[in-house]
Each structure stands twice: as C-alpha cells, then as structure tokens.
Structure 1
Amino acid sequence: MTEWTILGAGALGCVMAGLLRRQGEPVSLLLSERHRGHLHPSLDLITLSGRHQLIHTRPCFAEQAGQIRCLLVVTKAYQVVEALQGLHKLPESTPIILLHNGLGVAAQVQALYPRNPLIAAVSSHGAMKEGDWLVRHTGKGETWLGPINAAAAGHAGLVSPLAAALGHAQWSEDILRLQHQKLAINAVINPLTACHNIRNGQLLEPRFADVLEQLSEEVHQVMLKLGGQEQLDDFRRRLHKVIELTATNYSSMHQDLAHGRRTEIDYITGYVINNANELPVPVCRQLYREIQRRSGKPPRRRTSNG
C-alpha cells in the first residue's frame, strides 16, 4: 500500500486526505515551514451527512521529499511551481498528480521534473474550510486522472484507491478534454459570481440571462478552437446543471476575492483570453480586468501560452 502525500492543506486537500484515511489509506500532509515546531493536530472533517470525524495524518516537510512515493498537489494554480521547487530529493519514479483549477502550469512542472510521471486530475468534489484544521465536504462528484507525459502511462492503477475513497475515480487518456470542460464552466461561473458578490445559483436570475448567454458563447468558441467538440446548447445545459447543483455554494474565486486573497483569474479567464487569438471575447476581457482591479493588481500583459 503506497502512502499518499498531499501538498496543499487547504479545503480540498484536507477533504481528500480525510476521505483517503477513512478507507485505510496511509496519508501524509506535506506542510510548509510555518507549521514546523507546531503540534500537528488531527483534521476535523465534517462529512456530507454533517458528522464530525477526526482524521489522523502524518506530517512531513520538504527535506523528507526522498520518502515520497505518490505526490498529490492540491494547491492554487499559482502556488504549484513554487511549492514544488523545494522538493530537491523527490525521486524520479514518484508520480506527481496536479489537481487545481485552471490551466497553464503543467509545462512548468515538466521543466522542473522532466523524468517524473506527471498526471493531471479533475475533480468536482466540493470542500470548504471552516477553521484551522476544520473542513467540510460540501459535495460529491467525479474525479478523473490522466497522463500528461509518457512516463505517467503506467500509473492508471492509482484510480483504484481513489475510487474507493471518493466514490468515483477513472483514468482518461484524453484528460486535456476533461480539463477544458471544467475550465469552461469555471470561466463562466467564477468571475461572474466574484464580480457580483453572489452565490452560484443567483446566476440563473433573469438579470444575468444576457451576460450568461454572451459569456458562454465566448468561452465555447475558444474551447472549439482548442479542439473541443461539444455543441453550444450542450455546453449551456451542462453549465446550468452545474449552477443548479452548486446553487448554494460560493465559487472559489468569489471566496478568494472576498477574503483578500490572490485569485486564479490568470489560469481560468486568462487562459481563455490567451487562446482566443483573433476571436472576440469582450466579456471575458472585461471580467478579467475587473477581477484584477478589485484585487488591487494591474492586469497582466498576456503571453501566447497562458
């Protein structure tokens, strides 16, 4: 049985740790320097049924990277590269699984660890942090893993323990398509809910009908350009279903903006804008500028690769 090392002790990372431990999987949390010297408490996981469960995990730090056999990275997209840079002793055989919102990070990770199996993950599980080491599992969903490089091809077996812990996990050889599908949903819901300070479900109010129509068309056109084959009506039906299923939730970008944290706008809306090229995406650009303005940062000059 291989120990899962989770990098990123945020809401989703802690929920993943809790669900894996409940199935008897060994789990360690790779902690930052600020946690060194502190007592490592048990995780208090609030399950979907509302029950509290104490979850025990093993703490570890960067200098123990040589002991890591499977690394699940569950950080914000902009934190991934910096977090991985300090793991100098990470074995070349250790698979690195990237689970984050947005796109545009994988190439940088490949440059850092060119020989490691690199795996992309997409998950629709919901999680919310309610306090220090107190997390709530807010929604159950699908989880998909797939290879980013050739070295990852032999690691499809990782989905078995994940499936037992999460309720669903599958391997896909076309993981980029699934990443694009999730990004398209996030590129509509996240910036709109953040800018208007609303829950996801409020996007279905009549006042948002026009902007939803235009924004979904912009995002869909870019996804087609990137090789997507989903019809616009199908995308809109999928979008509405996600909004309905997460109606009472606040999006991650809403929460980041509300709490003064950096958002993942560069890796979500920025990725769409970056790949639009000649396609007009005025609503995407307006939302991008507004999120950056509210974050107190000037909009970044876009490059060609997101």
Structure 2
Amino acid sequence: MKIGIIGGGAIGLLVAVHMASKHQVSLYVRSENQKKLISEHGVTCRDLHQRVSVYTNRENLNEQELIIIAVKQHHIQEVVSNLPSAPALLFLQNGMTHLSAIQSVPNPCVLGVVEHGALKVSDYQVIHTGYGSIQLAVHHGGVNIDSWVEGFSEKEFPFKKRESYWEMLTEKLIVNTVINPLTAIFQVKNKEIVENDHINKLAELLCEEACRALQLSFRDQWARVCYIAENTGENMSSMLKDLNEGRKTEIDAICGFVLRTLKEDDAPFHQFVLESVHALELINQKGGAS
C-alpha cells in the first residue's frame, strides 16, 4: 500500500520505520533540514533502518492510498484543510478536540490510539521506549479495519480493531489527563503517579473529575491509570517532553476537553493543571527569548 505520513515527530518516525518494511511510505515533514537528514540516513529505530520518500510540501500526497496524520492537535485544522479528497485518513492524536475538525472531512476517517512509547532523539532517529499496540476505530466512511489490522501488524508493532471510537478515545483521554499534566508540572517520570503519595492523591482527584465528565467508571479507570503509570514508569510523558523542548503542549486538547464538558467550578483540579501548564509554557517562551 502507498502510505503517506504527515508529521516527523516521534510517532511519525516510529510508524514510518515499522510500516516501511511492508509498504511504500512517504513522510511529510516541516523542515528542510529534517528532509535532508532522512534522505541521507533513512529512518532508524535501534536495529531497524528503512528508506522512505520524504517531502516538505504536498508533492505526491494525492497518490497515497492512506494518509496517516501524526501531528499535534493544534496543527490538525491546518492539515485537514489541505488534503486530497480521495485517500482514507488515519488520525493519531492525544486528546479529543480533533473530533470537531474532522466532522466535515469527506474522506473516510479512522481514529487511532497509540499505546507505544517513543522518543525522538534526532530528526531521523527514534527510540521505541514502550511496547503496546495501535488501536483503530472507524469514525466515518467505508473502511475495512480488519484488512488494515492484518496488513499493518508486526509481532512487536500490532494493530487492533475497536468497535467504538468514542470508548477508545475516552479511555485514552482519562490516562492522558491524569498522567501528562502532573508529570509535566512536577517534572517527573510516569512512575511518580503511583510512587509519590501527594502526586498520587492529585492524580486520583483529576481522574474522578474526568470520569464524571466522560461518564465512565472511576473504579475501572483509576485502576487503568495506575496500571499504565506503573508499567510505563521510566517513560517521560509527551507533555513533559514538549515543555522541556520548548514546544506548545496539548493541554487544551486533553484537560481542556474535560473543562469544556464540565463547568469550571465542577473541575477545579483540571482548571488548575491547565493554567499551570500554560504558565510553564509562558515561562519557557520568556526564557528562550532572553
């Protein structure tokens, strides 16, 4: 299959290096420097090394059979406004605000949740820091997910079908809205969610608010949050990585979604962590400008 991947971050590189073993992959990135390095070195992940076509414009995008969108939430609107109308689209984002952006997209749309951990160490190198699966669910359009699962899956990089995209995304959102902001604010690895009693209490309160907003079982979701925090204990959350590297975070798409679902007075802990992360973003911006 001809597959285009928009986004040269950790997830874009990880998906590219695995899928290029069986498919014709084109990677669409922002910077000319990243394009040059990938053209010279390919994409590498430990002992995996794959050559892919790489572009900084929309060249050949209309020739792709599938376009995987692996950019941050705040780039979604820009990306979907300039897509060819024929290929199927697969969205791999944290948060849920992209749901409104794809409502009017005519292409068949599939939503995905990435359970893998990935760390981008250079413009062409990524480290696979945690193993899981990529879960897929149809949002709209006629897509045979079963054929994707069979055609994309590898032993260490499986794809799984989910019947409900809403259930799939809300379960991931609960985890992200607890682990991401707290690890970002306190500058700690995921394991502190369960090992530090004070952070653990804050995590529990955030989980309770999110479960009320999304009408999910607190008992079940809290158990999932603790399990994932423990099993990805040495990982650094994507929000902490974004802060450390001076990038805009996805706090509005994650905690902001919960706040928009509940009134601010009903989600004081989400309000606090949202403002705290934005404050850290601003501090980083001022530090970079000085």
Tell me the TM-score normalized by structure 2. Answer: 0.89
Conserved? CA contact 2:8–2:123, under 8 Å: no
The number of residues matched between the two structures is 280
Instruction: State the partner residue of 1:75.
Output: 71
In 1, Cα distance between the equivalents of 2:267 and 2:142?
35
AA aligned to 1:122 is: V
Query: Aligned to 2:260, what secondary structure does the other structure show?
Result: helix
Deviation larger for 205-214 or 93-102: 205-214
1:33 CA displacement: 5.9
Change (3 A) 1:12 1:37: closer
1:108 CA displacement: 1.6
What's the CA shift string for 1:123-168, capped at 9, x where partnerless?
Answer: 201100112211111111122111111x144454222222236542
What's the CA shift string for 1:21-52, capped at 9, x where partnerless?
Answer: 23x222111233635984623334234xxxx3
Conserved? CA contact 2:66–2:87, under 8 Å: yes
Instruction: State the partner residue of 1:34.
Output: 32
In 2, Cα distance between the equivalents of 1:12 and 1:72?
11
What's the CA shift string for 1:232-277, capped at 9, x where partnerless?
Answer: 2221111111001111111000111122110000100000111113
Name structure 1 gaps, 5 residues minimum. Answer: 298-306
AA aligned to 1:71 is: I
Instruction: State the partner residue of 1:179.
Output: 169
Query: Aligned to 2:107, what secondary structure does the other structure show?
Result: coil
Change (3 A) 1:155 1:211: closer
The answer to whether structure 1 residue 293 and structure 2 residue 279 are counterparts is yes
| Aligned pair partner of 1:126 in 113, 117, 134 | 117
Change (3 A) 1:208 1:219: same
AA aligned to 1:125 is: H
- Identical positions, percent: 25
What's the CA shift string for 1:268-287, capped at 9, x where partnerless?
Answer: 00001111138711111100
In 1, Cα distance between the equivalents of 2:166 and 2:89?
16
1:212 CA displacement: 2.1
Instruction: State the partner residue of 2:99.
Output: 106
For 1:1-306, what aligned pairs fall within 5 Å after superposition? 2-22=1-21, 24-32=22-30, 34=32, 38=36, 40-47=39-46, 52-60=47-55, 61-87=57-83, 90=84, 92-111=85-104, 113=105, 115-149=106-140, 151-164=141-154, 167-204=157-194, 205-224=196-215, 228=216, 231-277=217-263, 280-296=266-282
Conserved? CA contact 1:199–1:248, under 8 Å: yes
Deviation larger for 97-106 or 159-168: 159-168
RMSD, aligned α-carbons? 2.1
In 1, Cα distance between the equivalents of 2:222 and 2:41?
42
What's the CA shift string for 1:77-128, capped at 9, x where partnerless?
Answer: 11122133333xx1x33101000111111322343x3x21011111201100
In 1, Cα distance between the equivalents of 2:29 and 2:223?
40
Conserved? CA contact 2:182–2:199, under 8 Å: no
AA aligned to 1:239 is: V
Conserved? CA contact 1:197–1:254, under 8 Å: yes
In 1, Cα distance between the equivalents of 2:101 and 2:80?
10
Name structure 2 gaps, 5 residues minimum. Answer: 284-290
In 2, Cα distance between the equivalents of 1:239 and 1:131?
30
Query: Aligned to 1:214, what secondary structure does the other structure show?
Result: helix
Tell me the TM-score normalized by structure 1. Answer: 0.85
